[in-house]
Structures are given as structure tokens and as C-alpha cells.
Structure 1
Amino acid sequence: MDKLLAAMDANRIEHAMISGIPVAKTWHEDEPKRPRYYAGDDADAYWYSATDTLVAAALKALPPAQRSRFHPFLSGFNPSDKNADALVRQMLELDPGLWQGIGEVFTRHDDLTALIHGDTPRANNEAMKRVYHLAAEYDLPVMLHSNITSKREKNPLYLEEIEEPLRDHPHVRFIWAHAGSSMELHRHQERLDFLYGTLERLLGDYPNLYVDLSWSVLDPYLLDEKGRPDPQWLDLVKRYPERFMLGSDVVGRFDSLGELMHGFDPFLDALPEPLARRVALDNFLDVLPKRVRDTRR
């Protein structure tokens, strides 16, 4: 936490959503080296509920002034298990007032989907529907990692998995991580040509959709090959000024935090200053539970 706070202070980052990784990588008997990343070898991954306990302990160890800069989301549950909502409820009751959202929930997630024990996690399965009802009950936003397509299909193959929850749970605020894109998708398809049009329609149809603009959206969508802001994406943000927010997507190491976040500077500089501030900070804070928003007034 000290390293994270130092990186935030050095780069004028006032607030941050924080969550654990909901899966752990198996160090398989046949593997001679501990894997550092889920794609490091062919061993499976498994759902890791202790991640929330570790995040909670780290936050509780901070002074109140520092703790208030973090907005913790619960993530350590199996999104294919209909027990998930009961576990989430138990965690919420164990630490009343601590948790401010649910996620990043891993559903469709590159090769990780196939490596996880059990059923394929989907954002529109019965288990997650139960979680969404709980989120509405507690006024919690839900952040979903739900890839819009596979590595080879040049169409929104998995769109229904994110659109069905948006349609069926209008009282839940959904944050779509990376707008359904990922760096792994871009390694196989340099640019998802259907992403802009799909996102434009979804934003118009579903006022409960919010979009996390992480580094996998910055390039190749927000900025062109010369680092100039894309006029289409600038226009989209201007038309939906309350629906976009920045994310770093850093995991466990924070040396690159400043470089990643300052990568958005050309795009933010091309927006009117009040709108740039909304995208950089206020939109995220405004999507949090009402009890959290009220403390800022």
C-alpha cells in the first residue's frame, strides 16, 4: 500500500477503486517454476475468495485520511456458483460500510476463461443474476470484465452476455471493464472495428451502462497511431459526459501507474476542462453508493 500511495501522490491521483484478483493460479506438480501470471504455463486457475480478506486487511491498516482515498470492490467469488450472492452478502455484513462495489468480476476473459476450474463464467448466468439483485439491494455498482468477442471472431460474439444484464437489471449501475476489449484480443485483431458502433448503441439504449477506459481502450481507440485523439471517441464522450471513467488496470506493481494514467493526457486535453475532470475523477465517484456520494457533499 505504501508503494501504491507513493505512486498516486507522484501522479496527482486522488482516488482509486481497489479490488483483489478473484482467481489464483495453480502451481502444478509438473511445473518447475512458480507462475507469475495466469498465462505463464498451462496449469489451471481457481476462484480465490481470500482476495477480499487481504484487501480489507490492507485498507484497515491505513490511517483514515489515506483509507478514504480508496474505494474497495468485492471480487472473491465464483460467478458461476449460485451460492455467490450468499457469500457476497456475508462479506458485506462482516464489514458494514467497507465495500463500495462488486467486481472486477471475471466472466469472459481471454484464455483465462478456459483455465478456470468449473463452468464457463458468463455475465448473464443465473448465479450473476442473483448477485445483481443483491447489488441493487445494497446500492452497489458492478464492474464486469466481459469480453465482447473471442480472439478470432470479427463480430460481437458475446454481446448478449453483457447486454442481457443491462436490459434485465435497470436499477444496477454496470461498469464495463475496458469496454469489452483486452490487449489479448488486440494481439489477434489489431482493432475491433465493430466496438465503437456497438458501444454507441448500448450507451443510447441503457442509461445504467458506464465504461471503464483503461489502457487497452486508449490504444488503438481513443488515440490514433500518431497519438492524436480520435474525433469519433471525443464526440461519444461529449454526448455521454457522465458515463466514462479512467482505469489503470495495474495488478500488484505500481511503477507504471503514472505512465499509464498520463497516457490519457492528450485525450483529456482535447475535452472541455469540466468534462475532462468528470472523466478523470467525478464520474467514478458519482457511480458509487449514495452513502459514499453524500459524504463528499
Structure 2
Amino acid sequence: MSLVRYCGLALLLAAVAAQARDYRYSDAHLHYVDFFQESAGMDELLAAMAAGKVEHAMLSGIPVAKKWHENEPKRPRYYAGDDANAYWYSATDVLVAHAYKQLPAAQRERFHPFLSGFNPNDKNSDAHIRRMLELDPGLWQGIGEVFTRHDDLTALIHGDVPRANNEALARVYHLAAEYDLPVMLHANITSKRERNPLYLAEIEEPLRNHPHVRFIWAHAGTSMEIHRHQKKLDFLLPTLRRMLAAYPNLYIDLSWSVLRPYLLDQRGRPDGEWLELVSSYPARFMLGSDVVGRFDSLGDQLQGFAPFLDALPEPVARRVARDNFLAVLPRRVRAGLAD
């Protein structure tokens, strides 16, 4: 057999083997409510998880509520629907906790509630979070998604721009370490127009100063709004490569704004450099749908990663698809899952 035919056969066999993979997922980034604190409900979420082969899900609220302003004749459907403000909304965690508590015990084991309803600019927030943890001992398994730099939403929220490295959040990180809770941060790496990692120091400082906190960086610092203006951040991959080497407490949420244009090209082919990066740090990447109060697209969002997963070594792919998110949860939770 010629070398060309042998290589072609090897590639064909690899493709067939990849197609035979049957992934089970953990959704590391899911919002039970939308920006109006409304939800399609737990029944729809459970049905979507069953259809999408999602075994576990992070369960969080939305830390702000969008205002329907007196001067707006039509209720907006999203935070960007008009220029009305949004405001920090602590009751989002009450809604999440209520939905979680209504589930049978066997179903509760599949959900991992993250507490998010606090103002990240307020140095009282760590005291509020502690009260929430004490009100429901053992319920909360993480903190986040914490909104800091967040596209146009940042300008709509009442008050100052939150920074991931401000003093109020430093107090929250100390509390997270005390309770062994991971923290998911939304912290854009740059603005819509700056072609450099403008805000990188804001995420890098907490990573350096709080080595005992497991930080999940939502969307790897990217966003669809950034991509509308810049298409692709050429500095993202080398920046992540350096940061993953420097900070063992950094984990990357590969939710939808990372899938394209980074993991897959316009033709749906996996990017070789990203495959190498994920393979080099097989425990540090996880998948998220980032659905917001409606769950019909949940399975499609996660299964959209299949071409990239199929190009990874199978053990790595399964860790990224399911296991890595579970591995960042508190030790007490991981012990229960192992049982």
C-alpha cells in the first residue's frame, strides 16, 4: 500500500471513530432566568437537558434586571432592546434557589447553583453573600456569573463600571476561598474597538492575588459584540497560552462566542492551534450554552462543539464535554458525585 493511500485510510478511520463518539455534557454556563427575571421553567430545562444529553448544569440567575422605562411604549425583549437602564437585582438568587428546591432529590444532584445577585462595586457584597450562604447551608456551589466589563450592558447598569480587580470583589474572592467556591467572571479582555488586550490586567490581578480561588473566565474574555466590530482577536490565543501556564487557578468557559471564530473556522473545521492548546491543558476547559431563561437551544449549543471535540484525543474531549466543570466544584460536592 502506498504512503498516500495509507495516510488517507488512517484519516478515514479516525473520522469514523470520531463520528462514533457519544458525548455526555455538563453545561458550565446556564442562566435560569432572563434579564427580566423570567424563565421558561424547570420542566422545559429538564426536557432540553434530556434531549441534549446534558447530565449536569450550572444554575445561575442574572445579576441585573432590565428596566421598562416610563418613556418606552413597548416592553424590551433584551437588555439591548432600548436605552433604558438595568439595575443590580439580588432576588435573582431567590428565584434560582426556589426552582432548585422544588426538584426531587435525585434531580437536584444534576444542578449546581451559583450565587450571582450582588453589586460587584459594593464592599458590602461579601457580607450579603455570606448571609445567603448561611441562610441555605450547602445549597450554593459557586459564585457567578459576575458581570464586570460586559459590552454595552456595562454602560446601562446603574453606577460605576465594575472591574474584576476592584476592592469589593477582592473581598468576595476571599470569601470564595473560605467556602471553597469557584467564581465565574465575565470580564471582557478588550473593548469593541481596541485591538489589544486593554482590560487584561483586570482579570490577571485576581488570578495572581487569589491563587486559592478557581476562576472560570466566561467566554475566555470574548463576546459577540466585540466580534461584530473586530471579527477575531489575534492576540487571544497567545494570551491564553501564557495565562494558562502562569495561573493554575484559571479555567476557560468555551461558550458560544468562542466556538466561532476561534475553535472552528467558517467552514466548520477545527483550528489546529486551539486543539493543541486544549490538549496541552486538558483539565482547564469546559463548555457552556449561556442560554438565558429559555432552553430550547441548549442541546444545539453544546452539540455544536462536536466537530472540535471529535478532533481532540477522546479522553480529553470527554473531560472538556462533561468532567472539567464538575472538577471545579467544591470538594464536598465532588465527593458526593464520586459516591
TM range (shorter): over 0.9
Alignment of 1:52-63 (within 5 A): 52-63=93-104
Pick from 156, 159, 162 the counterpart of residue 121 of structure 1: 162
Pick from 32, 46, 59 the counterpart of residue 87 of structure 2: 46
- Alpha-carbon distance between aligned partners in 2 of 1:75 and 1:247, rounded to the nearest angstrom: 17
Corresponding residue number in structure 2 for 1:211: 252
Corresponding residue number in structure 2 for 1:81: 122
Q: CA deviation at 1:35?
A: 1.4
One-letter identity of the residue aligned with 2:268: G
Gap regions ≥5 residues in structure 1: none
SS of equivalent to 2:96: helix
Q: CA deviation at 1:258?
A: 1.5
Q: CA deviation at 1:232?
A: 0.3
SS of equivalent to 2:240: helix
- Alpha-carbon distance between aligned partners in 2 of 1:10 and 1:121, rounded to the nearest angstrom: 37
Per-residue CA deviations over 1:159-204 (Å, capped at 9, x if unaligned) read 0000000000000000000000001110111001111111111001
- Alpha-carbon distance between aligned partners in 2 of 1:255 and 1:281, rounded to the nearest angstrom: 20
CA RMSD between the two structures:
0.6
Corresponding residue number in structure 1 for 2:292: 251
Pick from 138, 141, 148 the counterpart of residue 100 of structure 1: 141
Corresponding residue number in structure 1 for 2:197: 156
Alignment of 1:6-21 (within 5 A): 6-21=47-62
SS of equivalent to 1:46: strand
- Alpha-carbon distance between aligned partners in 2 of 1:37 and 1:276, rounded to the nearest angstrom: 34
Pick from 14, 28, 37 the counterpart of residue 78 of structure 2: 37
- Alpha-carbon distance between aligned partners in 1 of 2:76 and 2:162, rounded to the nearest angstrom: 23
- Alpha-carbon distance between aligned partners in 1 of 2:180 and 2:104, rounded to the nearest angstrom: 26
Deviating beyond 2 angstroms after TM superposition, the runs of 4 or more aligned structure 1 residues are: none
2:181 matches 1:140: yes
- Alpha-carbon distance between aligned partners in 2 of 1:121 and 1:34, rounded to the nearest angstrom: 27
- Alpha-carbon distance between aligned partners in 2 of 1:35 and 1:48, rounded to the nearest angstrom: 18
- Alpha-carbon distance between aligned partners in 2 of 1:85 and 1:79, rounded to the nearest angstrom: 9
Larger radius of gyration, structure 1 or 2?
A: 2
Alignment of 1:177-196 (within 5 A): 177-196=218-237
- Alpha-carbon distance between aligned partners in 1 of 2:272 and 2:198, rounded to the nearest angstrom: 27
Q: CA deviation at 1:296?
A: 1.9
Alignment of 1:19-30 (within 5 A): 19-30=60-71
- Alpha-carbon distance between aligned partners in 2 of 1:227 and 1:83, rounded to the nearest angstrom: 46
Q: CA deviation at 1:34?
A: 1.3
2:241 matches 1:200: yes
Gap regions ≥5 residues in structure 2: 1-41
Q: CA deviation at 1:253?
A: 0.7
- Alpha-carbon distance between aligned partners in 1 of 2:147 and 2:181, rounded to the nearest angstrom: 17
2:271 matches 1:230: yes
Equivalent residue pairs, number:
297
- Alpha-carbon distance between aligned partners in 2 of 1:119 and 1:89, rounded to the nearest angstrom: 23
| TM-score scaled by length of structure 1 | 0.99
- Alpha-carbon distance between aligned partners in 2 of 1:279 and 1:190, rounded to the nearest angstrom: 25
- Alpha-carbon distance between aligned partners in 2 of 1:118 and 1:141, rounded to the nearest angstrom: 26
One-letter identity of the residue aligned with 2:304: G
- Alpha-carbon distance between aligned partners in 2 of 1:75 and 1:33, rounded to the nearest angstrom: 28
Question: Relative CO higher for 1 or 2, CA cutoff 8 Å, sep ≥ 6?
Answer: 2
One-letter identity of the residue aligned with 2:226: L
